[in-house]
Structure 1
């Protein structure tokens, strides 16, 4: 049996899963196999006679032209990768094998769709990067910064919003990346009717439209599938929806597809697990350095802060003050009114002390009804006397606890660096002695 191979070749070419392109020296497509339709969404008839460059992703146009010129100069390519635009607007990643036929003056190339392979690589890399960020980050905010880099590489043309939901307050806590400062957060209300609120309410991913007036929130009105320029996926723990991970298009023309949703959901699933672990670590770290009742700095962390402040003051020839405070008559109130009332009184005292100090100062509970305040960058005894008078005035205000008004006072002892001591031990001893001296004068 004689086989007509010339007649068979076209049929074989159209059976190939990879797409065969033949392009003339002017960049016009003169032949394309039937595999072009599943690859780019266009039929062969639609593509023949058009320019191959019309289908290339704009960001890859320059280097694709350089590769084409290289092929036409006689250098074959077997591993060139670039991006093309599908008929539906999505991006297709293609691996090319191409050579130049000088006799026919034609560029012959075979195109393989490697989009799924690239997505698998991205997914694996994202998992590794998130794990790496989780190990490196000491705080939740630092973890968010690491995740931002990962998402930025996966979706370089999109804006990212990462929101954590506080169910009790009904607000969203969002890292404030506009300030580019560590630990900056912004709180926004979780407005009903927004796409992000729907993601958190349902625990389901949502493709929606971007709301130009409210960045990251999204419009709940569903767009046509091909017009989605907002994509949000939930951060889900075993017990609740922690928040949402959102990307949106800042520019026209960028649209999200099902593959984008799957990739972002994968990242969100890994992130939710890491967030739960990071929150648990932060709670343990907080408990180790803070008083369980009042939330104030505890004795051990206060000593560390005092030592650090002393070293800084020594280097910079600065001054600092240490205040030791004790509630007068607290034991009697605790014994007669109950420990719950006593605990509420200590909590109220802690909040008042925090309310009249700066962020650079440190308030600590040393134990029982004894508190210390470390004041940095002070300007002599006159300024300390003013601060003490302010503390006394604030503490003299009635405390409304369980429907009853309690009037309490406190004894305060002070010590000033460097006049009253050069070490933490000397300053604490001096402030403690002055506190008991004050207590005797008021008793």
Structure 2
């Protein structure tokens, strides 16, 4: 069909900040105003005669073509939003209005660049999502999975790793790792550690990429040129310093990250760092409220919680369980003779030996002073509790070495079985405590005095 459209003379249309675009019945550009180059990166002579749809983002093309058909059917469209690809490969968000000219047989559209607005909206949504994740996540693994989802709304994130710095061991530990090719985190450790050293010193995100057929940057050569194309790393920085790093990777068939992506990652990493720090603080406070600070065993409060849960399970499944109450004969003499530091070291050693005598599913708790309680669940035979008690006695036949002192420790142990000796927490503990005290009195004179 003959195109009747007459190209307007340059003038006031080229003064408009929005781009004026005219597309013929075949979907090819026949005119664009000067603003088109500023928005899309293409000079007018580069697009005239080219299909309009080629500039549309691949994910938006089907919908855009459907809207174009509707416009050509005589229905003007106002404030349509979709994505285009600039000449430099960047995504640009466009809001446009268009109508069909029957006389001219062309679509006439006005296109406005709303990329800045869309980015601001996306960042606000991301900030809200991160804040929400920090409050509802059950722990760090759950938090990191939610953060990965947020990152994916801002930029390509098929390969994401979050590493936290262990200050005691001075190591970088991968707390979260997703890789589209299933590469383990350890394979990437050397590259990650080199990038981490750079971002810690600069406190800035780092983009390390290679061009096609060019050698990799030195920090990426450890994982090979075949897969690694681009790494984007950002420090997780809090007021107390850098606590870890966020790593995004792209492979040879993936996206090539840009300087703009660095700014997005800078924003996200700051929010993630704050969320991680809060989660870690909460975890430390929760741990401090439930565990003995000296031995790191469950304290009395956590023991009661576990005992209550174990009793409910035993009633429901009609299982046997037992409680062992233990203290150390003449422990006070250790403190009086060698000092409280030696006493503390002894309690730590006792805690370790007790844990070695039970299953992982059982609980060893310190309930005060030199008193410990062992909760044994899901026993197949009632005699199993006595087996554990004998195992504990055998464990303490070996003297405890504290610096130059060799201490012979003898525990007294009382046992209570459910349901024979009680059907609630306190009754079981009281029975086991009484049995322990009776054993202690019986053998009190036979217990050896601690000596060098």
Q: Does the TM-score normalized on the shorter chain lie above 0.5?
A: yes
With structure 1 as the length reference, what TM-score do the two structures score? 0.87
CA contact (8 A) 2:233 2:245 kept: yes
Who is 1:207 aligned against? 207
For 2:37, the equivalent position in structure 1 comes to 37
Structure 1 equivalent of residue 238 of structure 2: 237
Gaps of 5+ in 2: 1-5, 180-184, 211-218, 223-227, 445-452
For the Cα contact (< 8 Å) 1:191–1:197, is it kept in 2? no
Deviation (angstroms), 1:192: 7.1
Matched residue, 2:15: 15
CA contact 2:101–2:108 (8 Å) conserved in 1:
yes
After superposition, give the CA deviation of every residue in 1:63-114 in whole Å (9 maximum; x if it has no partner).
1111111111112122221111122222111111111112222111122111
1:111–1:400 Cα change, 3 Å: farther
Pair 1:255-2:256 in alignment: yes
Indicate conservation of the 8 Å contact 1:198/1:220, yes or no. no
- Matched with 1:291 is 292
Distance in 2, matches of 1:429 and 1:90, equals 72
Can you list the C-alpha shifts for 1:344-387, whole angstroms capped at 9, x where unaligned?
11122223333443443222111001011112111122222222
User: In the comparison of the two structures, how many residue pairs are matched?
Assistant: 422
SS of aligned partner of 2:437 = helix
The aligned residue for residue 99 of structure 1 is: 99
Equivalent residue for 1:313?
314
Q: For the residues of structure 1 that align with 2:193 and 2:295, how far apart are their CA atoms? A: 38
Matching residue of 2:71: 71
CA contact (8 A) 1:170 1:190 kept: no
Deviation of the 1:239 alpha carbon:
1.9
Q: Is the 8 A contact 1:20 1:108 kept in 2?
A: yes
Kept in 2: contact 1:90–1:255 (CA 8 A):
no
Once the two structures are overlaid, the 10-residue window that deviates more, 22-31 or 128-137, is 128-137
SS of residue matched to 2:383? helix
- Residue pair 2:229, 2:252 contacting (<8 A) in 1 also: no
Q: Distance in 2 between matches of 1:394 and 1:116?
A: 69
CA contact under 8 A between 2:71 and 2:98: conserved in structure 1?
Answer: yes
Q: What is the alpha-carbon distance in structure 1 between the residues aligned to residue 154 and residue 178 of structure 2?
A: 20
TM-superposed deviation, 1:118: 0.8
Q: Deviations over 1:311-337 (max 9, x none)?
A: 111111122121112122321111111
> Quick one: structure 1 residues 329 and 255, their matched pair in 2 at CA, closer, same or farther if it must change by over 3 Å?
same
Hey, what does 2:327 align to over in structure 1?
Answer: 326
In structure 2, relative to structure 1, the CA distance for the partners of 1:15 and 1:243 (3 Å cut) is same
Query: Structure 2-normalised TM-score?
Result: 0.85
Whether contact under 8 Å (1:172, 1:190) holds in the other structure is no
Instruction: After superposition, give the CA deviation of every residue in 1:17-70 in whole Å (9 maximum; x if it has no partner).
Output: 212221111121111122222222221111112111222221111111111111
Alpha-carbon contact 1:163-1:244 (below 8 Å) kept: yes
Q: Which runs of 5+ in 1 are unaligned?
A: 1-5, 180-184, 211-217, 222-226
What pairs with 1:404-415 in structure 2 (closer than 5 Å)? 404-415=405-416
SS at 2:244's partner residue? strand
SS of equivalent residue, structure 2 residue 262: helix
Question: In structure 2, how many angstroms separate the alpha carbons of the residues matched to 1:346 and 1:282?
Answer: 25
The alpha carbon displacement at 1:187 in A equals 12
Q: Are the counterparts in 2 of residues 22 and 32 from structure 1 also a CA contact under 8 Å?
A: yes
Taking the aligned partners of 2:238 and 2:138, their CA distance within structure 1 comes to 20
What do you get for the CA RMSD once the two structures are aligned?
Answer: 2.9
Instruction: Give CA-to-partner distance per residue, 1:391-425, whole Å, 9 cap, x none.
Output: 22333334333354433232222212122221111
1:92-139 alpha-carbon deviations (Å, 9 max, x no partner): 111111111122221111221111111111111112122222222353
Residue in 2 that maps onto 1:393:
394
